[in-house]
Each structure stands twice: as C-alpha cells, then as structure tokens.
Chain A
Amino acid sequence: MYAQNVSTGTQGVRDADELSPEEAAFQARIDGNIKIEPKDWMPAAYRKTLIRQIGQHAHSEIVGQLPEGNWVTRAPTLERKAILLAKVQDEAGHGLYLYCAAETLGISRDELMNKLHSGEMKYSSIFNYPTLTWADMGAVGWLVDGAAIMNQVPLQRTSFGPYARAMVRICKEESFHQRQGYSIMMSMVSGTPAQKEMAQDALNRFWYPALMMFGPSDKDSVHSDQSMAWKIKMNTNDELRQRFVNETVPQAHYLGLTIPDDDLVWNEETGNYDFSQPDWEEFKAVLKGNGPCNRERLGARIKAWEGGEWFRDGLAAYAEKAAKRRVAA
C-alpha cells in the first residue's frame, strides 16, 4: 500500500444519529456508491484525510522513481534499459495524476511539494530501502508493484471521483510494472548460480519490507474504520497482506526461490498461507525517518526541486513575456 497509517483526525466512526443532516446525506451518497466530486459538500475531515492519503500516494510514486532510477544507466541490456526507463516514466505520470486529484480538494502543488520536503507529509516506507543489485529491479517490480496493485485495484471503486479515475488509469499501466519485474527474476534464476543467488538475496531483503507496505496489523490500525466507512479504504491491511502472500508464494516457487520465512505454511483449514509478521518496530523507525535511505531519498528530492527552480522560473518568465508580446501585436 502506498498510503500507510493515514490519520483521519477522528475518534472512530460515529453513529448515524450523531451525524448532522449534511453529514448524513453525504454518508448516504457514499453508501449508495454515488461518487463525491470536488465541488460537492464534504465533511472537513474527509477532505483533510483524502489530501493526506492522495498526497502520500503521489509522493510515493515520485520518490519511488529514485531507487529504480539508480539502475537506468546500469541495466544489463539496451532492452532492459528502455523498459526500466519506461517504467520510471510511468511512475512520474502516476504521481502527476494523483497530485492533480489532490489539488481538486483545495491544496496547491507547491504546498504538497513543500510538505513532502519538510517531512510533514510521508511517502511509502518501502522506498527507504536501498537497491543494491540488478536483481533488486526484479524484486521491486515483482513484489513492490505487486503489493501496490493489491491495494490500487480496489481503490478504483473509492468514493472520491478524481481519485477513483486516477486509479483506473494507474491500474491499466501497473500490470506491466509487475510483469517486467517478474521477467527480470525469471532471467536471473535461469542464469549462473551467482545470478540465482542474487535473485534469492533480493527476495530476502524485499520480502518483509513489501509486507510492511500494507500498513500495521488491523488491531493497531486506528483510523481504518472511519476510512472504510468513507470508502477511501476498501479492504483492511491484514486482508490485503494475506491476499498478497497467497498470490506471491506460488510465484516464488515457480522461480525456485525460497520465501525467507521458516514459519510459512499452507493452512488447509483457512485456505491461506500462515506467515510471519514483519518487524513492526523497524516499520515505525522507517516511517519516523530512520530507515536505511530516508535522508538520501529526501535529499535527492529537495536537490531536484531547488536545482530546477531557475528552469521553472525561466519557463514562467518566457510565457509571461510571450503573452505580453501577443497583446502588443
């Protein structure tokens, strides 16, 4: 999940008789699956929560370019390089769709950028892990984009129109991301023993961080109930995590790789895999800014933003001048 631990600023879900007439009408629309559009009335907390969630989602797409951008110049073949470049470009596009959706709620692009750079807004914990070898490009596409798809497919039905429409567009493009990652893994495991080892090592390092993407366990996820009532969250964290494990384990078996979890076992009774939880203390530390790459990622973002300022200003100055010239002519 690209949005983790999004606060709703509320204390649980209120009963129907505690809602104002406006709030009740709003909730009735959501319950009837009628989309909420930017100009419609909405509770202030719904607006605020969505700005946080969509903003965090957008930031994740943009920051998510960095670990993969790291490998564009070092891809093993021209074809892989072109593919990786296309994927990284897609992530930029996904960020832009989402920023626009957030802006319809009354926050500006620059405010969003500033909040990312100041650390007030977060991005997904997963992008604070380093990409050390080429096999990591395989693991990221397969696991990270795979986990993102789990979360994004149901969000196509989310209650806020612009968010839902951005999700439809993103989901159409996301499947390529996962498949290209799996295709890298297939090449690695059919290569030399050293290459297969690299693939296993990448899986070992990305497995638990990928499980963390879905956010804390349901019992510790304090804002889930309100978000689900508003239909800005469609499934619980544990539901999606389970679904991801169930789908991914056979894919790892096909590759001949081992999931780094000694307690992983198929549970005949529940029809699910039983699996070990990630280290939630590590998750909290990464969210707080103390993951392996937090400083590097944010530093790269700020450098790009500040270093590009003269260029943005130059284009704006040219546009202004050209407009004046047109008026004069």
Chain B
Amino acid sequence: MANEWPLWEIFIRGQHGLNHRHVGSLHAPDAEMAINNARDVYTRRKEGVSIWVARSTEITASTPSDKGPMFDPAEDKIYRHPTFYNIPDEVGNM
C-alpha cells in the first residue's frame, strides 16, 4: 500500500532530571498520534514522565565507516582528563 504511515523515533525521559533517551521507533500518521502510540508502546509500566517524537527521516546520522576519522582523534588527548595531572597530596582534594 502506498499509504504507509511514516516512521517516528521515540525519546523518553525516564525520571525528572534525566535526559530524554532514544527507546525505539514506531509508525504513526502524525506527531500527535506518534505521541499517543508511544505512550501505549513504550510506557505501559511507568517508564517515563515525558515523550519526544521526531520523524526518522529528519535524523541525520554519522556513517559507521567514518568512525575512525570521527572519533580516533580524541584517543591521544589524555590531557583532557583530570587524572592526567599529578597534584601533590599536600594540596588536598582538587
């Protein structure tokens, strides 16, 4: 059928103070129905306090083959971590 409902990505905030997290996807004719369906599909056991929905086609993703050039440069920059620096004990907690 040509009329297949579009796919939506579903994000749920599990508890107050936490980020919305991607939990899965579903089909729905529009955003309002996507939220209604997401409530039934993803929060039957109080898994959330808030729902975001976004059209899957609106999401741009990095390609898996770019993983090296994208993320490897961070590998040798260990000075970005606090443990790189030795602070004498006498200084106390820092």
Q: Could you list which residues of chain A lie within 8 angstroms of chain B, going by C-beta atoms?
A: 37, 39-40, 86, 89-90, 93, 96-97, 100, 103, 108-110, 165-166, 169, 173, 309, 312-313, 315-316, 318-319, 322-323
* Pairwise interchain contact A100-B3, C-beta atoms closer than 8 A: no
For A108, the closest partner residue in chain B by CB is B4
Stretch at the interface among B13-21, B26-34, B73-81, B83-91: B26-34
Q: Would A312 and B25 be within 8 Å (CB), given that A37-B64, A319-B30, A323-B30 are in contact?
A: no
- CB-based contact B25/A100 at 8 Å: yes
Query: Dominant SS at the A interface?
Result: helix
Given known contacts A39-B64, A109-B4, A110-B4, is B29 in contact with A315 (CB within 8 Å)? yes
List of A residues within 8 angstroms of B33 by Cβ: 315, 319
In Å, the complex CA distance between A93 and B39 comes to: 11
CB < 8 Å neighbour of A90 from B5, B25, B44: B44
B44 touches A312 (CB 8 A): no
Q: Does B40 contact A (CB under 8 A)?
A: yes
B94 at the interface (CB under 8 A from A): no
CA distance A100 to B56 in the complex (A): 12
A38–B60 CA distance with the chains assembled, in angstroms: 14
User: Which A residues are in CB contact (< 8 Å) with B1?
Assistant: 110, 309
Query: In the complex, what residues of B have CB within 8 A of residue A110's CB?
Result: 1, 4
Q: Is the CB of B26 within 8 A of A100?
A: yes
Q: Give chain B's interface residue range (CB within 8 Å of chain A).
A: 10 to 19
- When the two chains form their complex, are residues B61 and A312 in contact, meaning their CB atoms are under 8 A apart? no
Question: Closest approach, in angstroms, between the C-beta of B2 and any C-beta of chain A?
Answer: 9
Q: Which residues of B contact A173 (CB under 8 A)?
A: 44-45
A318 touches which one: B4, B25, B26, B29 (CB < 8 A)? Answer: B29
Number of A-B contacts (CB under 8 A): 50
Q: Is the CB of A312 within 8 A of B24?
A: no
Closest to B62 in A: A39
The yes or no answer to B57 lying at the interface (CB within 8 A) is no
Q: What would be 8 A-B contacts, judged by CB atoms less than 8 Å apart?
A: A37-B64, A93-B44, A97-B24, A165-B24, A316-B29, A319-B29, A319-B30, A323-B30
State the CA gap A93–B10 with chains docked (Å): 14
**Chain B residue contacts of A37, Cβ below 8 A:** 64
Chain A nearest CB, measured from B71 CB (Å): 15
Most buried by B among A89, A110, A165: A110
The answer to whether B5 and A96 have CB atoms under 8 Å apart is no
Residue in B closest to A111 when the chains form the complex, CB atoms: B4
- Sample of 18 further A-B pairs with CB below 8 A, known A96-B26, A313-B3: A37-B64, A39-B63, A40-B64, A90-B44, A93-B41, A97-B41, A100-B25, A100-B26, A103-B7, A109-B4, A110-B4, A166-B24, A309-B1, A312-B5, A312-B29, A319-B29, A319-B30, A319-B33
Q: How far is the CA of A103 from the CA of B33 in the complex (A)?
A: 20
In the bound complex, do residue B44 and residue A89 qualify as a contact, i.e. CB atoms below 8 Å apart? yes
Q: What's the least CB distance linking B36 to chain A, in Å?
A: 11
Task: From known contacts A89-B44, A316-B5, infer whether A109 and B30 are also in contact, taking CB-CB under 8 Å.
Answer: no
From A37, A93, A166, residue with most partner B Cβ within 10 Å: A93
Chain B residues within 8 Å of A93, by CB: 40-41, 44
